[in-house]
Structure 1
């Protein structure tokens, strides 16, 4: 297990360095940071002075090395638009996005896994068709439309829940449902497919032939193996929620990383955009690494292979 974990960690770090290089290069291709800092109305002399003051006139390799050193020390740069260190702004906005993503993931798992198990047990029945229809609707509904629909019903007509802000836990209910429902279909379908494959395997038939009860066969023997691919998908979905919350946060006026990213694009805040892309990439890599380790613990065949 330790050898497998070490190999996966080394590969993750290698990918992380590659992602940092791509992120740095893309931000430089997106525009001249000296122009973004000096302003569109600045003269050529002012832009040249900013380029020299910030070191943008140095070779890109040296700029990247300096930026990577700062990132390793926890310095994500300075936002000239907000006139604040990037790390301070991110620290303020990150808890909102984390709370939203975790609540959405909990909703998705609570809906998807039981539905997937039930659909697999009663395949080709009305329950199975109903679960698949639920998944199809979830895939077809765009996030922004579903969010607006819930605002109209639960916020405007029924007045049960607030429709904007992030001050209390009630503010997270509608956004979490909107974000979680978008991830439910993929998890449900994979759970259903995994359970069907496992339930048709020889060791499950043997367990049933030995007289084990249905509940014990499903939850003690079948579910563990069926959920192995679901673990990996869940990690990817959580990463998607962290990075893809921009629409939901904008619709519900939540001050999280997603809305911050949209505002940074509008303002051409390159330092903030660069930091956010890096944070999202690191989140994806960390979640994927944890999912691989958990899968290896659940199924020893993975680490042996």
Structure 2
């Protein structure tokens, strides 16, 4: 198990280094950052002054090396717009996004996995059709529209939940449902397909022939094998929820890291944009690494391969 973990860890570090260089380079390939900071009405002398002030006149590899060295130490510079350290700014906003992402993926897993298992046990039944309907509706329904519908029904008409903000746990109920519902269809379909495939396997028939109870067959033998691709998908979905929650945060006025990314892009706040791209990418890499380790524990064949 240890050689597998070390191999995956080395691959994760290599991917992280590549992503950091690409994310740093894209901001310069999109245009002249000095001209963007100076504004459309700035003169050539003003642009050159800003280029020298922020070090944009140096080679890009030198800038990248200095930025990466500081980023490893937790120093992402100072925000051009907020005039605050980028690290503290992201840490403050990331709490909301992390809480929303964890709640969203838990809601998706606790809803989609049981529905997928139930649909696989009874194919073409009512529960299977309900799962199919929820899957299709989740893919077809835009998250911002779903969020607005929940606000109209549960906040305005019924008055059960607050429409926006992040003051109490009740403020996170509707955003959690919206964010989690977006991930439900893929998890549900993958769980159903995996269970159908495993339930028709020889080792399941052997377990039943030996007199194993149906619950033991379903959860110890079938679900353990069918859940392996779901773990990988959940890791990807969790990374997406953290990096792509900007729509949900905007609809429900949750000023998290996703909303901060939109603010920074709109205001040409390059240090904050660079740091956010790196942080969100690291989440993807870490979750994928943890999913690989968990899958290797669930399926020993992955360690030898």
Partner of 1:299: 299
Q: CA deviation at 1:100?
A: 0.5
Q: CA deviation at 1:36?
A: 3.8
Task: Tell me how many residue pairs correspond in the alignment.
Answer: 305
Partner of 1:216: 216
Q: CA deviation at 1:274?
A: 1.2
SS in 1 for 2:193: helix
Q: CA deviation at 1:196?
A: 0.7
Q: CA deviation at 1:84?
A: 1.0
> After the TM superposition, which residues 142-291 of structure 1 pair with which residues of structure 2 at under 5 Å, given as runs?
142-291=142-291
Alpha-carbon contact 1:109-1:184 (below 8 Å) kept: yes
**Quick one: distance in 1 between partners of 2:114 and 2:164?**
31
Partner of 1:105: 105
Alpha-carbon contact 1:147-1:175 (below 8 Å) kept: yes
**Quick one: distance in 2 between partners of 1:44 and 1:139?**
49
SS in 2 for 1:176: helix
Alpha-carbon contact 2:80-2:270 (below 8 Å) kept: no
Partner of 1:129: 129
> Normalised by the size of structure 1, how large is the TM-score?
0.97
Structure 1 unmatched ranges of 5 or more: none
**Quick one: distance in 2 between partners of 1:190 and 1:157?**
36
Q: CA deviation at 1:31?
A: 3.2
SS in 2 for 1:84: coil
**Quick one: distance in 1 between partners of 2:101 and 2:61?**
36
> After the TM superposition, which residues 37-76 of structure 1 pair with which residues of structure 2 at under 5 Å, given as runs?
37-76=37-76
Alpha-carbon contact 1:36-1:269 (below 8 Å) kept: no
Cα deviation code 1:130-170 (max 9, x no counterpart): 11111111111110010000000001100100111111111
Structure 2 unmatched ranges of 5 or more: none
SS in 1 for 2:34: helix
Q: CA deviation at 1:88?
A: 1.3
Q: CA deviation at 1:33?
A: 2.5
Alpha-carbon contact 2:37-2:268 (below 8 Å) kept: no
**Quick one: distance in 1 between partners of 2:149 and 2:53?**
50
SS in 2 for 1:78: coil
**Quick one: distance in 2 between partners of 1:272 and 1:38?**
17
RMSD of aligned C-alpha atoms?
Answer: 1.1
**Quick one: distance in 1 between partners of 2:268 and 2:57?**
20
**Quick one: distance in 1 between partners of 2:171 and 2:35?**
39
